Every structure is written in structure tokens, then in C-alpha cells.
Chain A
Amino acid sequence: MYVAVKGGEQAILSSYQLLDRQRRGDQTVPELSIAQIRQQMKLAVDRVMTEGSVFDPELAALAIKQACGDLVEAIFLLRAYRATLPRLGSTKPIDTSKMILDRRISATFKDLPGGQVLGPTYDYTQRLLDFSLLERNEDVPLALASQATDPTITSTTEVPRVIDLLNQEGLIETHLAPENDVSPFDLTRHPVRFPADRSTRLQNLARGDEGFLLAMAYSTQRGYANSHPFVGEIRLGSVAIELVPDELGFAISIGDIEITECQMINQFAGSKTEPPQFTRGYGLAFGHSERKAMAMSLVDRALRAEELGETVQSPAQMPEFVLSHSDSLEASGFVQHLKLPHYVDFQSELELVRKMRLGAKDTETSQDDSGVEHE
């Protein structure tokens, strides 16, 4: 006598226990602390903050710990947390020209006011596994670089942006604030409808999965929408967040955040009456996230194809394609939802196939699927 399978609830509770055990691992090994993750896995924390859309390194580190290092899962945790937080106000736009720089490079000029500051980067390392890291050498203090390496850049130096330098000659397109300077669309509160304006697109890209954006950006460099890009400038450092409370009527700083900004300079456009100018792509991310900021800037530029009168031919230039598939939560959720029971749908399909096979056996099929016919 068949008895229906029961025990779904118990199964879930058991799975929680197994998950806890997996997360903790071997109990003889010291437990990871949030502080350790925050300090020593900074780049993971930065990515989770960027795609989680919350600047809070501690929460991001917590999410990483809870997710056993699965960054997409950690991003999900942070987003879910963010979703129901009360909105207290909006800040003024950040001013990256006033950034306190840790790193600043430009590929378009050999030298420039403010200089090229390499900062902390993997770019010029050799990717050889450093086995000395296998041992924890707490007794041997690291020969750490002192904080102020470059005497030309101090916290009070304002380093002009490359974009602004090019702009002095009118060589690069400028984007003025729109009339009445309306608030940007908030896609975490309202659904995106197409066509989406640039501000909405940039929000989507900022939150978008780094891997996906990287692939899309790469495709634009390989002939799927060529735009001859150059890194105008990459800046890494901290900027002040300012708010104007109603009671005061002037701006106050509520803290600093670390951001990475990429200004990509792309091929020029012009017409019979307008002189040619360079066009731009923009990328921005929390923390030290260059790959993300650069990929974002290439995709931003590609998505401007229609606006700039270019033929839309490849996926990276199609806003609906890029923006609908960039969110790791949506993508991961839907891909993985295939694990959910689908036996009722499958049952229907099973029957249909059986029925069709029965039908095929009975009747003679003379579907002539021949090739091209000549006249």
C-alpha cells in the first residue's frame, strides 16, 4: 500500500543543521571572525558591498561568513537586508574631484598634474603562489609601506580629473545636469521599463554581477560593437558623503566611503556641423573594485549606441538584454529554481510525449524535410 512521502519540515530542519556544520567546518580550527574577513578579505567585502548596494563593510563581512564565502549568496543576504530598511533621506552627489587618492592612473597620458600613483594593485605582480602565506608569521612584522608614499599628493591636494583637462579644449563630451535637476529614478523602488535612461542603466550596472559585465565588456573589445576605448582615469580613494538636513539648510558630512571610479574615453563622434569629440563610458563601485568599474564603463558606453546614432548589432548594445540579465539575484534565483519540484509540469509533458510516440507509431509520417528546392 503506497503511503505518500511526508516529512518536508523535518528535512528542512535537518538541512539547517548540516549547513551550520558545513559553515563551521573542523571545530579544532579557530573560527573566522568578522574583523578578519573585513581586514584580510577586503576585496571580497568590496564586491559584496557594491553588488549588495550597501556600504557597510561589517555587514558585508558578516554576509560572507554566513554564506561560507559564496559571494553571490552573500550579496543576496545584503540585498534582502537592505530591502526593508527605512529611507531617511538622499545625499548630495559625491564629488570625485575632491577624492583623497590612494591610487590614480591614466592610460591616455604618460604624465599629468597629480602624477600617476600606482597604489595597492595586483597589476604589476607576478602571479606566483606565495607559499610563505601558508604559515602565519605573527612574530615577523610585515615591512608595510608607510601611508604617505607620494609627497606630491597630500590630503589637501586637489588633483584635477583627466576628463576636466580634456574638457578645457572641448575635446570630450560633457554631460550637464538636466533641467530642474530631478532626482534620479530609483530602481530598487520601481520596476525598470524600457527604454531606460542613462541614470537608470548606470544604477543597474553598478549592482550588476561582475562576471556578466566583464563578459559583456570583453565582447565589445572583440568586435561585438567596437568602440576603441582608452582608460582616461581610474581613481581609488575616499570621498565624503554629505547630506543637507532640512533643519540646517546646509550640507554636513556624515562620513567617508571608499570608491573606485573609472572614466573610459571612447571613439569620437561628430557630424558636419558638430566638431568631433571623444565620447565617454562611466564606471563606479564601492571599495577597490577596478575590474568592475572598468567593465561597467565599457558596457555603459556600448548601451549608448542608439543615443549616439550607432547601429545596434550586438548583445552588449541592447539595453533590454543587458539590463534584464545583469542582476545576480534574479539570474541565480531563476536558474536554481529548476531544483524546485516540477513534477506536475513534468507529468503533463511526459503524457504528451507518450501520446505523440503512440501516434507516430500508428500513422505513416511523410514529412519531407528536404533541402532547398530549385525551380
Chain B
Amino acid sequence: MVTSRTAPILRATKLTKRYGQRTALIDASFELWSGEVLAIVGESGSGKSTLLNVLAARDRPDAGTVEFQLKDGTISDVFQMTEAQRRLLARTDWGFVHQNSADGLRMDVSAGANVGERLMALGDRHYGQLRATACDWLARVEIDPSRVDDLPKHFSGGMRQRLQIARNLVTRPRLVFMDEPTSGLDVSVQAKLLDLLRQLTQQMDLASVIVTHDLAVARLLAHRMIVMQRGRIVETGLTDQVLDDPQHPYTQLLVSSVLQP
């Protein structure tokens, strides 16, 4: 892997997105470095989900570019690629963890099939090995491997999220997008999941963009963070700095309204 440390793994430049008359995203720019976790924080309607969807090529921007550093080190404009290239990227070098696990899993096939699907799509044809790999990954995300043949619809919310993570990480992507990965889960379950995410991103040297409205998630997981308000990035910087010493009035408001334990 030739990922250059001198060039960012992901670069967004002046991204703008409109829905009819409403402008959801205005001139968003930032850089992400390999192995770095970036949190995008804001209230609902701030444009953070729009930004994530554009970055992950799930939505096309009206202006601006998204550039990704491929495995061989070349920088590629994501929206200049063919549909086929983008889809391949999405299945191998990228991951996307949905807020609602049902959107990111096949609910009526087994956990093993869910984890093995990307590998099968890439040509793996040995059932025994696929199953073993799936069991391995289930263990890594702290799901009992004996549940490899069970259906996700019989899993709890936390387990489904962990399964979703395994499904994405099995191809060792270098960049993972996460949309509110812990929302809707119990506090203790959230904590466990965040811990797991932190471990995995460190172990696998993952670059990650995490959208969240929860500052605690940003604090725990992210090296850097971006604060969004009404479609614009209003503040960016190292997580601790932004949270401990917010400069922008909106950030100050956000930070002050969070109850400190």
C-alpha cells in the first residue's frame, strides 16, 4: 500500500448542494489524512448528512470536488470516475456504516453471508474459508461466532451495528464513512460500540468521517472535528481544542449546552 502521508487521503473542495430552492451545503472544504478520524458535528438541518452523502458519492454535488487517494497513490476526482469505478470503490476501499443498521445489512440472510458478501463479490469461492473469515470478524466485533448462521433480525440493535461494521471492514477499506453510528442505542451499548470503533480504527489505521450530533462521540473518537451550521462549516480544528476552546459563537453555544458529567 502506497498511501502517501504527504497527500491527504480525501480532499473536499467547495462542495455545494441544493435541493430545489433550499441550499443544504455551501462551499464545504476540508482535508482528511490517512489514519485520521474526523467528526462532522452539528444540529439536524446543519447539512452534515448531506456533506457525508456527497463525500461518499451517494449524492452528486452541484459544485465543488471530492478527491480520493487511490491505493497506488494517485489522486482521483470521485465524480469524474465512471459509475463502475465508484461502485467498486464503495465495495472495497470504502465503508459506509448507516445510522439504521437495516439499511446497511441484508436482514434476511445470515450474519456469515452478510460479512462474506463483499468477499464473494470480489471472487472468493471457498465456503469454508468465507465462513471462517466471517467467524473471525464476528469475534473481532465482539459478536459470539456461533451466531454466524443466525439472521440479523434476531440480533439486538447494538449487535446489528457491530455486524454492519464487520461487513464493511472485511475488505480492509482505507476510508470509512459513518452516519450517526451510535444513535438509537442505549448509553452503555453506545459506550461499548465507541470503544470498539476506537480500537478498530487504530488497529487498522482507518481514515474515517463520522457524522454525529453528539459531542461526546466526537471527543472520544475523533482527532479533528468540523462544526456545521446551516450548510456551512463554521469551525474546524483538533477535537480537544475545538471543544475546550471554541471560537465561533455557534460552537460555543453547542459546547455550553452539553451537560458535563
A and B touch in the complex (CB under 8 A): yes
Q: Who on chain A is nearest to B153 by CB?
A: A372
Top 3 A-B residue pairs of the complex, sorted by shortest distance between their CB atoms: A272-B21, A373-B156, A372-B156
Q: In the bound complex, do residue A373 and residue B154 qualify as a contact, i.e. CB atoms below 8 Å apart?
A: yes
Q: In the bound complex, do residue A309 and residue B154 qualify as a contact, i.e. CB atoms below 8 Å apart?
A: no
Q: Who on chain B is nearest to A371 by CB?
A: B154
CB neighbours (8 Å) of B192 from chain A are: 375
Q: In the bound complex, do residue B159 and residue A375 qualify as a contact, i.e. CB atoms below 8 Å apart?
A: yes
Residues 154-195 of chain B: 1 if any A CB is under 8 Å from the residue's CB, otherwise 0?
111011000000000000000000000000000011001000
Q: In the bound complex, do residue A374 and residue B154 qualify as a contact, i.e. CB atoms below 8 Å apart?
A: no
Tell me if A27 counts as interface (CB < 8 A to partner B): no
Expressed in whole angstroms, the Cα–Cα distance for A374 and B185 within the complex equals 12
Expressed in whole angstroms, the Cα–Cα distance for A82 and B192 within the complex equals 68
CB neighbours (8 Å) of B189 from chain A are: 375
Q: In the bound complex, do residue A271 and residue B156 qualify as a contact, i.e. CB atoms below 8 Å apart?
A: no
Tell me if B261 counts as interface (CB < 8 A to partner A): no
Interface residues of A in 59-89 (CB under 8 A from B): none
CB neighbours (8 Å) of A372 from chain B are: 154-156
* B interface residues with partner A (beta carbon < 8 Å): 20-21, 149-150, 154-156, 158-159, 188-189, 192
Contact flag A369-B21 (CB < 8 Å), given A375-B159, A375-B189:
no
Min distance, Cβ B111 to any Cβ of chain A, angstroms = 12
CB neighbours (8 Å) of B158 from chain A are: 375
- Known A271-B20, A367-B149, A370-B154; 7 more pairs at CB < 8 Å: A272-B21, A369-B150, A372-B156, A373-B154, A374-B156, A375-B156, A375-B189
Min distance, Cβ B96 to any Cβ of chain A, angstroms = 22
* A interface residues with partner B (beta carbon < 8 Å): 271-273, 309, 367-375
CB neighbours (8 Å) of B159 from chain A are: 373, 375
* A and B contact pairs by CB, cutoff 8 A, 22 listed: A271-B20, A271-B21, A309-B20, A367-B149, A368-B150, A369-B150, A369-B154, A370-B154, A371-B154, A372-B154, A372-B155, A372-B156, A373-B154, A373-B155, A373-B156, A373-B159, A374-B156, A375-B156, A375-B158, A375-B188, A375-B189, A375-B192
Expressed in whole angstroms, the Cα–Cα distance for A271 and B154 within the complex equals 44
Interface hub of B20, B149, B155, B189 (most chain A Cβ within 10 A)? B20
Min distance, Cβ B233 to any Cβ of chain A, angstroms = 25
Expressed in whole angstroms, the Cα–Cα distance for A370 and B188 within the complex equals 23
Min distance, Cβ B70 to any Cβ of chain A, angstroms = 32
Expressed in whole angstroms, the Cα–Cα distance for A371 and B154 within the complex equals 6
Q: Who on chain A is nearest to B146 by CB?
A: A368
Min distance, Cβ A203 to any Cβ of chain B, angstroms = 30
CB neighbours (8 Å) of A373 from chain B are: 154-156, 159
Expressed in whole angstroms, the Cα–Cα distance for A199 and B150 within the complex equals 47
CB neighbours (8 Å) of B150 from chain A are: 368-369
Expressed in whole angstroms, the Cα–Cα distance for A374 and B189 within the complex equals 10
CB neighbours (8 Å) of B156 from chain A are: 372-375
Min distance, Cβ A249 to any Cβ of chain B, angstroms = 46
Q: Who on chain B is nearest to A373 by CB?
A: B156
Expressed in whole angstroms, the Cα–Cα distance for A370 and B150 within the complex equals 9
CB neighbours (8 Å) of A271 from chain B are: 20-21
Min distance, Cβ A12 to any Cβ of chain B, angstroms = 44
Expressed in whole angstroms, the Cα–Cα distance for A375 and B20 within the complex equals 44
Expressed in whole angstroms, the Cα–Cα distance for A373 and B157 within the complex equals 9
Q: In the bound complex, do residue A273 and residue B154 qualify as a contact, i.e. CB atoms below 8 Å apart?
A: no
CB neighbours (8 Å) of B188 from chain A are: 375
Q: In the bound complex, do residue A273 and residue B21 qualify as a contact, i.e. CB atoms below 8 Å apart?
A: yes
Min distance, Cβ B151 to any Cβ of chain A, angstroms = 9
Expressed in whole angstroms, the Cα–Cα distance for A229 and B91 within the complex equals 44
CB neighbours (8 Å) of B20 from chain A are: 271-272, 309
Min distance, Cβ B170 to any Cβ of chain A, angstroms = 22
Expressed in whole angstroms, the Cα–Cα distance for A374 and B156 within the complex equals 6
Expressed in whole angstroms, the Cα–Cα distance for A371 and B188 within the complex equals 21
CB neighbours (8 Å) of A273 from chain B are: 21
Expressed in whole angstroms, the Cα–Cα distance for A214 and B69 within the complex equals 54
Expressed in whole angstroms, the Cα–Cα distance for A375 and B189 within the complex equals 8
CB neighbours (8 Å) of A371 from chain B are: 154
Expressed in whole angstroms, the Cα–Cα distance for A352 and B154 within the complex equals 28
Min distance, Cβ B94 to any Cβ of chain A, angstroms = 27
Q: Who on chain A is nearest to B21 by CB?
A: A272
Min distance, Cβ B193 to any Cβ of chain A, angstroms = 10
Expressed in whole angstroms, the Cα–Cα distance for A273 and B21 within the complex equals 8
Expressed in whole angstroms, the Cα–Cα distance for A19 and B158 within the complex equals 64
CB neighbours (8 Å) of B21 from chain A are: 271-273
Q: Who on chain A is nearest to B192 by CB?
A: A375
CB neighbours (8 Å) of A369 from chain B are: 150, 154
Expressed in whole angstroms, the Cα–Cα distance for A272 and B23 within the complex equals 13
Min distance, Cβ A368 to any Cβ of chain B, angstroms = 8
Expressed in whole angstroms, the Cα–Cα distance for A375 and B196 within the complex equals 15
Min distance, Cβ A248 to any Cβ of chain B, angstroms = 49
Q: Who on chain A is nearest to B144 by CB?
A: A373
CB neighbours (8 Å) of B155 from chain A are: 372-373
Min distance, Cβ B162 to any Cβ of chain A, angstroms = 10
Min distance, Cβ A369 to any Cβ of chain B, angstroms = 7
